[in-house]
Amino acid sequence: MLLKVSNLAVSYGAIEALHDVSLQIDPGEIVCLIGSNGAGKTTLLRTISGLLRPTRGELLFNGETDIHELPAHEIVALGISHCPEGRQVFANMTVRENLLLGGYLRRHPHRAGRPSQEAGLQYESQPLDPDPDVSDVFSRFPVLGERRSQKAGTLSGGEKRRLSVVPMRYLYTFEVPSVQRVPP
């Protein structure tokens, strides 16, 4: 099991936004939360990513790590990425600099107080970048490789979307998936 949410409750002051929410996501699964505005979809995603704290319940990652009290930076270090609605990139940094920043905790796991969970990537051919994570992104999204030295703020909307979702993670959470859809 990749993520297990059990009997989760989240409140904004006296208002309980989530009440006894439970779900399980297994590796390789794609799960979609569908609901009207105000149903609690964003609240759940923000709670999983550590931006909100539950008032009760349990959040287990990889079947064993209880993440409900971890700060957001430690949750990111475990490999959980929250991609909010919109195209959020560091506009004045290059594409490559954005990727390096997005993968910082993977290269420096001690900064988050947790050991890295990945051994690294192996390449059969010459890598596209000295950093293996960046090279992997450029091989999956060649247009980003072509624009590696370009300021991220000058990218098209689709290119910004690609750049905002590519930091290698185990679990991605997206708001408004129709807006998040990225062609290969």
Whether the predicted model's global pTM rises above the 0.85 cut: no
Question: Which domains can be identified in the chain, with CATH numbers?
Answer: 3-69 (3.40.50.300), 95-169 (no CATH)
Partners of 56 in beta bridges = 9
DSSP 150: S
pLDDT tens column, 106-148: 555 544 443 334 433 343 444 567 777 788 788 888 999 999 9
10 Å CB burial of residue 172 (0-12, 13-18, 19+) is middle
Can you tell me the distance from the alpha carbon of 44 to that of 74, in angstroms, rounded to the nearest whole number? 18
Reading the block at residue 125, the tokens are: 């051919």
Tens-digit pLDDT profile for residues 39-53: 999 899 999 989 899
